Amino acid sequence: MQSIQVAPVGSRITYLRGKDGLSTRLDLWEYDLHARKARVLINCDTIIAAGADLSEEEKARRERQRMAGLSGILEYDFSPTGQALVFGCGGNLYYAALDAGKEPVPVQLTGAGETDAQISPCGSHVAYVRQQNLFVHDLSGASERQLTSDGGGAIKNAMAEFIAQEEMDRHSGFWWSPDDAHIAFARVDESGVTVHQRLEIGAHDTLTVEQRYPAAGEPNARVRLGVVDVRTAAIRWMDLGPDTDIYLARVAWLPDGRTLAVQRQSRDQRRLDLLFIDIGSGQSRRVLSESSNTWIDLHDELTFLKSQAEFIWASGCDGFRHLYLYSTDGTLLRRLTQGEWVVDDFRGRAIKAVDEARRLVYFTATAGDATQRHLYAASLDTQDPGNPRRISAQPGVHAVTMPSTPRFYIDQFSGPAQPAQAALRDIDGSLIAYLSENRLDAAHPYADCLAEESAAEYGELQAEDGQCLQYRLFKPHALDRSRRYPAILDVYGGPGVQRVLKNWTGATFTQVMTRAGYFVLQLDNRGSAFRGDRFQAPIHGKLGEIEVQDQLLGARWLARQPQVDAARIGVWGWSYGGYLTLMLMFKAPEVFRAGVAGAPVTDWALYDTHYTERYLGTPQENPDGYAASSVLPHAHGLRGALLLMHGMADDNVLFTHSTRLYRRLQDLGKPFDIMAYPGGKHGLTRTGEGRHAYMTIKRYFDEHL
């Protein structure tokens, strides 16, 4: 179950679910809270043929959202009453009334490649982007109005620029006011961004693509923030300050409908300002500001109260991300949470709801165990921020969806022995009903695989600076005590990601490899996420050093296990994991006999601004750090068998990263293997090409280990 929502008013829960036999093609389902029954609400195949074409903009947006391997209905938006919704399917936009007792009949509103459709808060209009301009559709009069007109070429209105989508987790470029009267929107000017020519090599053709890709140290897109009057299309530009080389990180409206809350991040990402902007004058005032000697992570934890002139804000000012209550004049009222743990959902917004009447905030956090996520409640008037009340009970990872008035919640739970489960729970955590129990019994599709299931063993190693590194180890089932087995270090290791969780790991590539007779180790090195600033910060200024040090600690520990053959250890990873695979094989060739690096960054000067400069600064400021962080100067160390895999149309980690390494290894006379995927994007392992990619990785380790 994906994209779970509680209807704003009414008795239905909706979600997207794959078809039986085709899990990547999504239909819209509903669960009736009164009848306690689920049914298909809208079948995508009744709307549009499976092979419908998408616009290039929509394809790129899906790639940025890691949804490129999915089809059908991927996004939907409720009206305020919950009695209607809009959704996109096959490049068209549809509206469906949800009358009680009647089957919804989707009506096509548009059909010209619209993206990012949003119903207005009062339900009178739908706004969307078409051909880089903002449009609104009046639902009462069934008429359309164009609100911006200069979009095209390097100018994009109401759209999130590449950097915002890929690195800032902001996928929209416009925001409705609470009263439907105005829309705030970003105007993106990419004319100053360097145009990189790259080839998209497909199976039957080759395209030359001119992509405005802001590489580290190069100019970014210039972003302005405007507010357009929905009735007159008049635009007023907001004051974001004299420095134009900044990031428009987040935009929201205060409940008054006359004030914008804007998060402005400095180019070096060491400062984050919260601005309040009066839309009548366009003038801004800084409400609060945070700074860091390394970097500040962006988040979505900003919630305005409706009954009080207060807001909840998350800050890592004490080294761990926690919640704080402020008045709207910027005065800190009190901290709401405290401790050596973080408020986090690991995949989105951690604040789930605020009960203003009872003065409670509900959120997910890592309190007690960084490998788990649980639901907590804290008082807005708390005098004991270090002891929030835990609500969820089962050990594991809980992803929570709540209605705006928190009477109940949907608990998407996964544990080491429980595949993804969705339950309807009372606000105290007690079970009301299962939406999807997914019981792992004899009738379950995975039941026949359980006999060979490898249960994760969790543990800790100590890093050089004394910090705790968490790992999970998977062993082949039914070990033969007389044998020694090959082993694989399965690595990601990059910032912003956590691999070691107490969640379900069945039906994964890890289980494929343990069934084939491999030990598999996953370890979260320093620099990875959700453990506080001290754990993240050691990578600042130089990449591929601390991470390698910690992963080598894990690999050498793995080699000492009594049934592991230390002469047959491999390493593999994708993206940042591909980068670390190369660094490990080049810097510690005595440890690894074989490695597979998928879509690796090989030279950070080729990667984008927001991600790279967060950790390394610019190449102009930190040339030594960039040189040391590149894999190319270390390539001479290669001794083991190496397979390089890359999509030949990757617009994130460009194929150039691999071709540069090809040339470097060739110049050094080093043997290596490649597997290139025509038309493949960065997320090719999540698409149909993924099966071949995983088969290739397994075959390579079978041959060399």
At 603, which CATH number? 3.40.50.1820
575 flagged as catalytic = yes
Report if residue 396 sits inside a domain. no
Band of the pLDDT at 93, cuts 50, 70, 90? confident
Continuous segment of H or E residues that includes residue 577 = helix 576-587
Distance of alpha carbon 619 from alpha carbon 609, whole angstroms = 10
**pLDDT tens readout for residues 274-288:** 999 999 999 999 999
Which residue among 98, 119, 140 closes a domain?
Answer: 119
Band of the pLDDT at 606, cuts 50, 70, 90? very high
Distance of alpha carbon 185 from alpha carbon 167, whole angstroms = 19
Report if residue 295 sits inside a domain. no
Report if residue 414 sits inside a domain. no
CA 57, 59, 61, 64 torsion-angle sign: negative
436 flagged as catalytic = no
Q: What is the pLDDT of residue 91?
A: 76
SS3 156: strand
**Which structural domain range is residue 519 located in?**
451-637+685-704
Stretch 161-186: mean pLDDT, rounded? Answer: 96
Reported in sequence order, the residue ranges of 120-258 that DSSP labels E, i.e. its strands, are 125-130, 133-138, 143-146, 155-157, 174-176, 182-189, 195-201, 206-212, 222-229, 235-237, 246-253
Report if residue 209 sits inside a domain. no
Taking residue 372's Cβ as centre, other Cβ atoms within 10 Å add up to: 20
State the amino acid at position 584 in one-letter form: L
Which residue among 89, 119, 149 closes a domain?
Answer: 119
Strand order in the sheet with 351-355: 351-355, 360-365, 374-379, 389-390
Q: What is the pLDDT of residue 347?
A: 74
Q: Which of 27, 344, 650, 651 is catalytic?
A: 650
650 flagged as catalytic = yes
**pLDDT tens readout for residues 470-519:** 999 999 988 998 999 999 999 999 999 999 999 999 889 999 999 999 99
Supply the mean pLDDT for the chain. Answer: 93
Spatial contact of 251 and 228, defined as CB atoms under 8 Å apart: no
Spatial contact of 459 and 506, defined as CB atoms under 8 Å apart: no
Spatial contact of 18 and 28, defined as CB atoms under 8 Å apart: no
Distance of alpha carbon 314 from alpha carbon 342, whole angstroms = 10
Band of the pLDDT at 319, cuts 50, 70, 90? very high
Report if residue 285 sits inside a domain. no
Q: What is the pLDDT of residue 202?
A: 81
Closest CA to 290 of 305, 267, 262, 269: 269
Residue 50 has pLDDT above 60, yes or no: no
Residue 157 has pLDDT above 90, yes or no: yes
Per the structure, the count of domains in the chain is 2
DSSP state of 598: E
Residue 536 has pLDDT above 70, yes or no: yes
DSSP state of 413: E
Residue 51 has pLDDT above 50, yes or no: no
State the amino acid at position 360 in one-letter form: L
Q: Which of 124, 284, 575, 630 is catalytic?
A: 575
Report if residue 616 sits inside a domain. yes
Three state DSSP letters for 287-333: EEEEECCCCCCCCCCEEECCCCCEEEEEECCCCCCEEEEEECCCCEE
Share of the chain above pLDDT 70, in %: 97
Which residue among 76, 95, 119 closes a domain?
Answer: 119
CA 641 centroid distance within chain: 32
Report if residue 547 sits inside a domain. yes
Spatial contact of 700 and 643, defined as CB atoms under 8 Å apart: yes
Report if residue 494 sits inside a domain. yes
3-state helix, strand, coil in the chain (%, to 5): 15, 40, 45
